[in-house]
């Protein structure tokens, strides 16, 4: 019995914003199925009374003083931009004429 089907893998790829080829979807379905089968072993472990552990070492979130410090200059922050315009990162249009916003319009 498989734990995950290729349709679900396709959905996940959309959620992860990851374009996968049909071949990759097929391969990923088999790989994820095997890995999920392996991690099922955790079901045997009784953790009902156990607090989740998100961090290995206990620490209280320290707050720094609320003072102005040195920040990255805008030019340096933009130096690796694949595309830029003035002091902005440039991306495909997401707000369209007429006030509509939506990624699916072209």
Partner 1 sequence: VTAAAGGEVRGASIAALADGVRAGKLRARDLTEAYLDRIARLDGALGCYLLVDAEGARRRADAVDAARAAGRDPGPLAGVPIGIKDIFVTRGIETTCASKILRGFIPPFESTVTQRLADAGAVALGKINMDEFAMGSSNENSARGRVHNPWSLAHVPGGSSGGSAAAVAASLCAGATGTDTGGSIRQPAAMCGVAGMKPTYGRVSRYGVIAFASSLDHPGPFGRTVEDVAALLEVMAGADPLDATSIPAPVGRYRDACRAGREGGGLKGVRLGIPAEYFTAGMDPEVEAAVRAALDELGRAGAELVPVSLPHTRYAIATYYLICTAEAASNLARYDGVRFGLRAPDVHSLAELYSRTRGEGFGLEAKRRIMLGTYVLRAGYYDAYYLKALRARRKLAEDFAAAFTRCDAIVTPTSPIPAFRFGERMGDPLQMYLADVLTVAPNLAGVPALAQSCGFTRAGLPIGLQIIAPPLGEEACFRVGAAYEARTDWHRRLPEDPPAGARREVTS
Interface contacts to partner 1, rule CB under 8 A: 4, 9, 12-21, 24, 27-28, 31-32, 34-36, 38-39, 41-43, 45, 47, 50-57, 59, 61-62, 64, 72, 76-77, 79-83, 89, 91-92, 94, 103-106
Residue number, 2 or 79, with CB nearest to partner 1: 79
As a whole number of angstroms, the distance between CA 87 and CA 83 comes to 11
Q: Whole-number minimum distance, CB 97 to partner 1, in Å?
A: 15
CA distance 34 to 4: 10
For residue 103, the minimal CB distance to partner 1 (Å) is 4
Token digits for 15?
């959620």
Q: How far is CA 86 from CA 30, 71, 80, 82, 94, in A?
A: 47, 19, 14, 13, 18
* Residue nearer to partner 1 on the CB measure, 56 or 99: 56
DSSP classification of residue 66: S
Q: How far is the CB of 7 from partner 1 (least distance, A)?
A: 13
């Amino acid at each position: 019995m498989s734990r995950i089907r290729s349709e679900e893998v396709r959905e996940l790829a959309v959620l992860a914003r990851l374009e996968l080829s049909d071949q990759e979807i097929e391969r990923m379905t088999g790989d994820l199925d095997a890995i999920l089968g392996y991690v099922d072993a955790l079901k045997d472990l009784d953790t009902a009374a156990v607090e989740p552990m998100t961090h290995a070492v206990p620490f209280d979130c320290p707050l720094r003083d609320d003072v102005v410090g040195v920040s990255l200059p805008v030019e340096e922050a933009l130096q690796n931009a694949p595309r830029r315009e003035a002091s902005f990162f440039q991306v495909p249009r997401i707000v369209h004429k007429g006030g509509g916003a939506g990624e699916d319009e072209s």
